[in-house]
Structure 1
């Protein structure tokens, strides 16, 4: 019984650590998404010059994000930690995955299109950014300041 209790305690501690790691990893990934948006959005609005290399780097980051997201929301990370993830992620996993898939498809299409001018960049960016907004609207809890 003592070995069982020790094993159970270790499992619970390890599970909690894994949840914290996943929460921290997805927060870091989302922070990088935000930093990428701070570069791409001004270009799309014409407030900064179009930079194809920066655009491609941003789109490639978004593909990486979409590929990593499904593994960063296990049930064990549903509670605990300082997270903005809505419970809707776990309540509607099919919808959440569909949102990630749409984001990935649009980001991959943007990479494949390799926008060489502002107009083509704006079209590709608009689709990717719309996915971000839609997902945040449904699957993110806005923190109060």
Structure 2
């Protein structure tokens, strides 16, 4: 390689580095977005199983009812950690800006959700009549949080 080629290569590398430096900071944490989407998918699956029992589409089963709360609790436990600043956009996220502009309110909603799941699970519903109010308190959290902290794409 001659001196001119080396100089050209060095200039090209320098120009590329400079171009990267002026790009807008838009790198998104797609891994964490996928993690929270997976957690919501799991919670949604548990809610669907609950709904099927509540509607009589499947027979009530105390073990399945307990599993609904277990799945919801395990996914809700770390859900709040899946919202770093670099995950506001990208990956078809449905996270609303309010998560970052009202972080204390968001944390309070998550804490209420976790508390209501724990309280519902503690009732250990053995019948559909006992499961209905236990699950209703949990489901109400979903609706409330989705209204303010989720953008429906």
- TM-score normalised to structure 1 length: 0.83
Report the equivalent of 1:12.
none
The alignment's C-alpha RMSD in Å is 2.4
CA distance in 1, matches of 2:113, 2:77: 10
Report the equivalent of 1:102.
112
Report the equivalent of 1:63.
73
Q: Is the 8 A contact 1:63 1:104 kept in 2?
A: yes
Give structure 1 stretches of 5+ with no counterpart: 10-14
Could you tell me how far 1:16 is from its partner in structure 2?
A: 4.2
Q: Is the 8 A contact 1:23 1:77 kept in 2?
A: yes
What is the aligned length? 135
Query: Which has the greater radius of gyration?
Result: 2
Q: Does 1:38 align with 2:48?
A: yes
Q: Does 1:127 align with 2:137?
A: yes
Q: Is the 8 A contact 1:44 1:125 kept in 2?
A: no
Give structure 2 stretches of 5+ with no counterpart: 1-13
Greater helix share, structure number: 1
CA distance in 1, matches of 2:48, 2:90: 29
- TM-score normalised to structure 2 length: 0.79
Q: Is the 8 A contact 1:96 1:139 kept in 2?
A: yes
Report the equivalent of 2:8.
none
